[in-house]
Amino acid sequence: MAAPCIFCEIITGKLPGDIVFQNETVTAFRDRYPRAPIHILIVPNKHLESINSVTAADKELMGDLILIARKLATDLGISETGYRLVVNTGPDSGQSVQHLHIHLLGGNKMPLMGG
């Protein structure tokens, strides 16, 4: 049997998570191993493995993820200083959890991507 998805378990409360936002379609929680002063994961409640699993039926959900990222950036005071949204997809990107998520990173000056 496949191992349970840790993000599904955080969403349903079976595993502890530092949840900062939740509604009927999206959950956001602090990354357990933060790589920036603010590091939040924004996750669809529905299990989608990655961007590769997204279909046209998920258009509204994908919009919700971005709007919630924007709201959290504002609420956490980094909308003006700036932030980075990252969606790792597949092995070359280093995706380590197979449940689609957007990283919201901010709170300090970040190196240029690829720099």
Q: Which residues are catalytic, by number?
A: 101
**Is position 44 an interface residue for ligand AMP (rule: CB under 6 A)?**
no
2: helix, coil or strand?
coil
Token pair in block for residue 66: 């971005």
Q: Pick the binder of ligand AMP from 6, 8, 54, 76 (CB under 6 A).
A: 6
Q: Pick the binder of ligand AMP from 96, 109, 114, 115 (CB under 6 A).
A: 96
Q: Pick the binder of ligand AMP from 22, 31, 51, 85 (CB under 6 A).
A: 31
Beta strands 83-86 and 26-30: pairing type?
Answer: unpaired
Q: Look at the block and give the residue holding tokens 């980094």.
A: 78
106: helix, coil or strand?
strand
The residues of the shown chain that bind ligand AMP, judged by CB under 6 A, are 6, 17, 31-33, 41, 88, 94-97
